[in-house]
Structure 1
Amino acid sequence: MENGDQNASSRPTARPRKPRAPNAPPKAHRHQGASLPARNSDFVYQDLRREIISMRLTPGTAILEKNLAQRYGVSRTPVREAIVRLAKDRLIDVVAKSGTFVAPIPLAMVREALVARRALEAATVREATEKASESQFMEIRAIIQRQRENAQAGDEAAFHRADDDFHAAIAAAGRLAGIWDMIQQIRIQIERYRRLTLPQPGRMLKVVGEHEAVLEAMVRRDADEAVAKMAYHLNNLQLDIAVFRDMWPDYFLLDPAVDSDLLAE
């Protein structure tokens, strides 16, 4: 046997990733600064944005320019530029005389984004039901199976990527890939909220079942049913807002003008 084969056979078998405990926010992310590519304000912006949206940086986390400049190996100027962009995205709050912090999740924006997303995904599902080929249905089914395996392994990051792939594949099958790009732009706050829901017992497998229901209606070429199943899937996020707001009250921002129902609970 070659040395390479001996080394491969002696490697330990990969173990399933231990799932995050129910009601626990995502673990803090350890950033490997030495492996970062070229430094510039756009990279700093994209990297911080990714960490905030994934909830690796949770609402209320202090953002220190000096530390970020050291971490990315840049001056404070590109860091400040990135912070300004993130503040415009409502992902960072710059508070005079207090500091800079990851912003809370504005529930009003979550609700508005859910309404917009339901409308856009209704269009992609309807078109995909009518236009998708059998091979495209097979691809979507394979994505759902991959998502099921991710859920069973407790791999939230891979589950999330497969979830994106599912919705993107439907848009592509409907020849409306550009609409998925639009959805990506409006769902920033939805994603932060959604990341909090994944560790709930059975949550990921429940999502898989909802995706399967959408696909089965599409395969039958029943566009109305497919749209209804997708709406049900997306509506479940909104129904649970009060529950997760109560679990992590410091993570959310309520607007008295539009969130009166939540304030009264």
Structure 2
Amino acid sequence: MSDESEVKRIRGTGWKSVYETLRNEILSLALPPGQLLDEMTLAERFDMSRSPVREALIRLGADELVVTLSNRSTIVAPIEVATFPKYVEALDIAQRMNTRLAAALRTEADLKTIAKRLKIFEAAVKTGNHLAMSEANKEFHMAIAHAGKNQYLASFYEKLLSQGQRMLHLHFEYLERTHEGYLLTDEHTLMLDAIRDKNVELADELAHAHTRQFQDNFINFMRENYTTDVALGPLRAAE
């Protein structure tokens, strides 16, 4: 490979390293909501020009993990507590629909994939690494979504799961510190069992309870740590 082609390769892929590093730091809350992301400072940190840094920030913006302000500065996207009720309502609907479809339409191959993702999540829980846990949790639920065979619902669900990963970190932290509840593993096992048995109604009920547990613990965490009076109506019960 010539020196010229090597330079092109580095320039073409440099943003990916910046993107992946910043994404992990944002999702793990190492970069907190509202943190300023200065292009020049980041370029110095990663020892590269501003162009790949800018590209990485653009892609993080598409993921809704950073926002550009009116003065053109970029910050880590805030966690919007005020809109959490609407978020969790959408998550509940998407989670229930995808899980119902998986119970009705799953194949044996789907079951193997879901079971594999469950084991990966359980292994991540044992490490105590919240980023690994949230990524594995997302992959477990997306395996369920793919088993439902509806790409539009699956795509919508994936976006919601990605948007909720930072909140899930706070959820994990709350459970570990207070020992109130459990780290989703038991619920995941029950969901897999319902999907395996093609029990659509039970799968729906478990998916709803799963969202409700996440909602309750996240709100408890926020009230305990930020004295935020978050008004939430109850999620609709599974019908």
TM-score range, shorter chain: 0.7 to 0.9
Partner of 2:13: 38
TM-score (norm 2): 0.73
For 1:33-54, what per-residue CA distance to the aligned partner results, in whole angstroms no more than 9, with x for missing partners? xx997234x7655653443233
Partner of 1:10: none
Structure number with the bigger relative contact order (C-alpha 8 A, sep ≥ 6) is 1
Partner of 2:195: 218
For 1:1-35, what per-residue CA distance to the aligned partner results, in whole angstroms no more than 9, with x for missing partners? xxxxxxxxxxxxxxxxxxxxxxxxxxxxxxxxxx9
| 1:69-88 matches, cutoff 5 A | 69-76=43-50, 79-80=53-54, 83=57
When residues 129 and 48 of structure 1 are mapped into structure 2, their CA distance, relative to the original with a 3 A threshold, is same
Conserved? CA contact 1:66–1:76, under 8 Å: yes
Unpaired runs of 5+ residues, structure 2, are 1-9, 233-239
Asked whether 1:179 is paired with 2:179, we answer: no
For 1:147-192, what per-residue CA distance to the aligned partner results, in whole angstroms no more than 9, with x for missing partners? 2232223233333332122111111212124433222323444211
Conserved? CA contact 1:113–1:187, under 8 Å: no
Query: What percentage of aligned pairs have identical amino acids?
Result: 26
Partner of 1:207: 184
* Alignment counterpart, residue 142 of structure 1, candidates 88, 108, 116: 116
For 1:207-232, what per-residue CA distance to the aligned partner results, in whole angstroms no more than 9, with x for missing partners? 01111121222222210110110111
> Partner letter of residue 224 of structure 1?
E
Conserved? CA contact 1:106–1:189, under 8 Å: no
Asked whether 1:119 is paired with 2:96, we answer: no
> Partner letter of residue 240 of structure 1?
N
Conserved? CA contact 1:128–1:174, under 8 Å: yes
Tell me how far apart the structure 1 counterparts of residues 146 and 132 of structure 2 sit (CA, whole Å): 21
When residues 220 and 194 of structure 1 are mapped into structure 2, their CA distance, relative to the original with a 3 A threshold, is same
Asked whether 1:228 is paired with 2:198, we answer: no
Asked whether 1:244 is paired with 2:221, we answer: yes
Conserved? CA contact 2:19–2:56, under 8 Å: yes
> Partner letter of residue 213 of structure 1?
L
When residues 261 and 203 of structure 1 are mapped into structure 2, their CA distance, relative to the original with a 3 A threshold, is closer
* Alignment counterpart, residue 91 of structure 1, candidates 57, 63, 66: 66
For 1:92-141, what per-residue CA distance to the aligned partner results, in whole angstroms no more than 9, with x for missing partners? 464759x7543431013333222212212222211111111234323322
Tell me how far apart the structure 1 counterparts of residues 183 and 147 of structure 2 sit (CA, whole Å): 24
When residues 187 and 124 of structure 1 are mapped into structure 2, their CA distance, relative to the original with a 3 A threshold, is closer
Let me know the Cα RMSD of the aligned residues.
3.5
Conserved? CA contact 2:101–2:149, under 8 Å: yes
The alignment of Structure 1 onto Structure 2 pairs a total of residues equal to 219
Partner of 1:66: 40
* Alignment counterpart, residue 162 of structure 1, candidates 136, 146, 155: 136
